[in-house]
């Protein structure tokens, strides 16, 4: 029994030691890997209306590498006041106008958009005026979702449009 016990304990020590040394080796190898963060991977933030965006606590867009995430655009003036109140079609046009400015900042157009998500408080009205998008997306449509929501950030906002962009090099 004593010899068997010693053999079992010895086996466990070998297994545990081997397991620990493998884990230590993996941790050490990971620590020694070179950091591949390039300038392309450093986030580039863009504020369309700096004072408004700082007050609400968001950036209108962030670019990392070839990918750009654009926060939802709403119909507002430069002071952050809602515009085209009660007119969903004009609010939608105002959203696309702002989104075009953000895209232009990064040297992009709507042809570079790969995802478009539309949030609206009035889906039936949006469906009536959605054909306007044909003037925006002339070559192809992005993927995305159209979502009917109860409310947006301010009660006057009827539509919000967010984008994801892939900028080819």
Q: Can you give the pLDDT of all 169 residues of the chain as single tens digits?
A: 555 544 444 443 443 344 444 445 444 444 444 455 555 689 999 999 999 999 999 999 999 999 999 999 999 999 999 999 999 999 999 999 999 999 999 999 999 999 999 999 999 999 999 999 999 999 999 999 999 999 999 999 999 999 999 998 7
**What's the pTM?**
0.77
The alpha-carbon radius of gyration of the chain (Å, integer) is 26
Looking at residue 59, its pLDDT comes to 96
Q: How far apart are CA 44 and CA 65, in angstroms?
A: 9
Domain 39-166 has CATH 3.40.50.1100: no
Structural domain boundaries in the chain: 1-33, 39-166
Measured in Å, how far apart are the chain's first and last C-alpha atoms? 71
Looking at residue 157, its pLDDT comes to 98
Nearest partner of 165 among 109, 125, 126, 127, judged by Cα: 109
Q: How far apart are CA 152 and CA 162, in angstroms?
A: 13
């Amino acid at each position: 029994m004593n010899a068997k016990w010693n053999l079992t304990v010895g086996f466990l020590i070998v297994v545990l030691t081997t397991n620990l040394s493998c884990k230590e080796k993996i941790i050490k190898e990971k620590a020694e890997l070179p950091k591949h963060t390039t300038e392309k991977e450093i986030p580039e933030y863009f504020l369309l209306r700096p004072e408004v965006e700082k007050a609400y606590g968001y950036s209108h867009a962030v670019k990392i590498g070839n990918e750009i995430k654009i926060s939802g655009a709403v119909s507002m003036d430069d002071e952050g006041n809602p515009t085209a109140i009660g007119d969903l079609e004009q609010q939608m046009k105002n959203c696309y106008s702002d989104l075009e400015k953000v895209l232009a900042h990064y040297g992009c157009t709507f042809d570079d958009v790969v995802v478009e998500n539309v949030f609206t408080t009035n889906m039936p009205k949006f469906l009536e005026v959605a054909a306007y998008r044909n003037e925006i997306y002339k070559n192809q449509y992005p993927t995305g979702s159209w979502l009917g929501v109860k409310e947006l950030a301010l009660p006057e906002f009827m539509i919000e449009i967010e984008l994801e962009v892939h900028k080819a090099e």
